């Protein structure tokens, strides 16, 4: 029995030119800016990144579908593209023609040095040197018009920074923002973390942090105060009450602030929340967040405490109606049962849209946060 095997070896197949298009964006994203990682004539491997498309929310990397050579760039660097826009042409299987370096030119023989000039006769006497003229003293008075300033550098704002600026200004112009404050005694949650952190890490392979306690407390408080989880529909002039809790967690990256979403937090326990935070944080650090990871969100938590913040007023992330600001844990003297004790304390701030949320609801919400974090047994008793 003879077996005949066929191999495709034609140059037409190997050097096929394909056009790579912009991948489809999520519904909330319409366009992005292209930043090229490769140039015409560059050789690329399969799945090697050719360009990055920066959108309002994240960056999308576009890889080469096969090994080959970049034939043509169809969009200039910094150009705007929509989903499906042709980006570049790739000649599959072609090898980059390495230009042979010209051989080094033979060195010309060194010219003989010119003969030294005949020595001049030394003068018998040096002419008198006049004393240096007195330099005028600088006038230290003036109007500063001749002051030399340090040079400045102008850098174009990237799309993400522009979008952040636009959304924050939109929040200031649209919402009636008001902030209320409270302080949280972190003694119990710190003790719980100290007692269980090793066992938690051994069982779940992730560290037990403080953020999961605040996310869980926020979900509990949002269920208790649904107005904080609601939003105003400015088109229909209606209040939309959400029966689910999707919490956005602000993460700082080198390119700007991103807010990936933990979905259906009301159904999650501490372990689920820690795993979700860990996974989203890892994707954010690697610049691998998809637009779908940041779509939606009914409430935001921002933790300035990781940078040493003591106090601050966060700005609402529209179209949400409130945001919780966490800050640093600092030991402070507090009154406990008539005695002064040193406790690890954290200031917390809730900024809310006063068009929708009343002061009573905002203060009650923040007190719920305080109660759960100070004593997680509140969750067991549903108090």
Polymer length of the chain: 383
Residue 246, burial from CB neighbour count under 10 angstroms (0-12, 13-18, 19+): buried
Residues involved in catalysis: 354, 358
Cβ atoms 213, 274 nearer than 8 A: no
- Whether residue 257 contacts residue 164, with contact meaning beta carbons closer than 8 Å, is answered with yes
Q: What angle (nearest 5°) sits at the alpha carbon of residue 371, between those of residues 365 and 376?
A: 125
CA 347 to chain centre: 25
209-239: buried (b, 16+ CB within 10 Å) or exposed (e) per residue?
Answer: bbbbbbbbbbbbbbbebebbbbbbeeeeeee
Calculate ∠ Cα 272-269-212, nearest 5°: 75
For residue 62, how many other CB atoms are within 10 A of its CB? 20
DSSP state for residue 41 in the 8-state scheme: T
DSSP H helical ranges for 61-158? none
Give the CA angle between residues 159, 164, 169 to the nearest 5°: 130
252 Cβ neighbours under 8 A, 6+ residues apart? 307
d(CA 261, CA 7): 49
Residues 40 and 68: beta-carbon distance below 8 Å? no
Give the chain's largest Cα–Cα span.
113
């Amino acid at each position: 029995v003879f077996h005949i095997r066929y191999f495709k070896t034609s140059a037409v197949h190997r050097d096929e030119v394909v056009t790579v298009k912009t991948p489809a964006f999520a519904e909330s994203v319409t366009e992005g800016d292209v930043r090229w990682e490769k140039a015409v004539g560059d050789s690329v491997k399969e799945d090697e990144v050719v360009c990055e498309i920066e959108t309002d929310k994240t960056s999308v990397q576009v890889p080469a579908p096969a090994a080959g050579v970049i034939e043509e760039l169809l969009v200039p660097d910094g150009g705007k593209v929509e989903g499906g826009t042709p980006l570049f042409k790739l000649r599959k299987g072609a090898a980059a023609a390495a230009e042979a370096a010209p051989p080094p030119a033979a060195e010309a023989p060194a010219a003989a040095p010119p003969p030294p000039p005949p020595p001049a006769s030394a003068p018998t006497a040096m002419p008198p040197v006049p004393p240096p003229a007195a330099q005028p003293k600088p006038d230290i008075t003036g109007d500063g018009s001749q002051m030399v300033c340090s040079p400045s550098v102008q850098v174009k704002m990237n799309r993400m920074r522009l979008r952040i600026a636009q959304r924050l200004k939109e929040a200031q112009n649209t919402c009636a923002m008001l902030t209320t404050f409270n302080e949280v005694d972190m003694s119990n949650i710190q003790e719980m973390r100290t007692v269980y952190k090793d066992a938690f890490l051994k069982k779940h392979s992730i560290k037990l942090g403080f953020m999961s306690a605040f996310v869980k407390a926020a979900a509990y408080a949002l269920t208790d105060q649904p107005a904080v989880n609601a939003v105003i529909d400015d088109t229909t002039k209606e209040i939309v009450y959400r029966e689910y809790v999707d919490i956005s967690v602000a993460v700082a990256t080198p390119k700007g602030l991103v807010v990936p979403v933990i979905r259906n937090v009301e159904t999650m326990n501490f372990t689920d929340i820690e795993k979700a935070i860990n996974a989203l944080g890892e994707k954010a650090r690697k610049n691998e967040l998809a637009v779908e990871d940041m779509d939606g969100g009914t409430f935001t938590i921002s933790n300035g405490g990781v940078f040493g913040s003591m106090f601050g007023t966060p700005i609402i992330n529209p179209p949400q109606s409130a945001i919780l600001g966490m800050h640093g844990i600092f030991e402070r003297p507090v009154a406990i049962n008539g005695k002064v004790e040193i406790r690890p304390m954290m200031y917390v701030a809730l900024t809310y849209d006063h068009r929708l949320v009343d002061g009573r609801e905002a203060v009650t919400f923040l007190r719920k946060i305080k109660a759960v974090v100070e004593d997680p047994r509140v969750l067991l008793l549903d108090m």
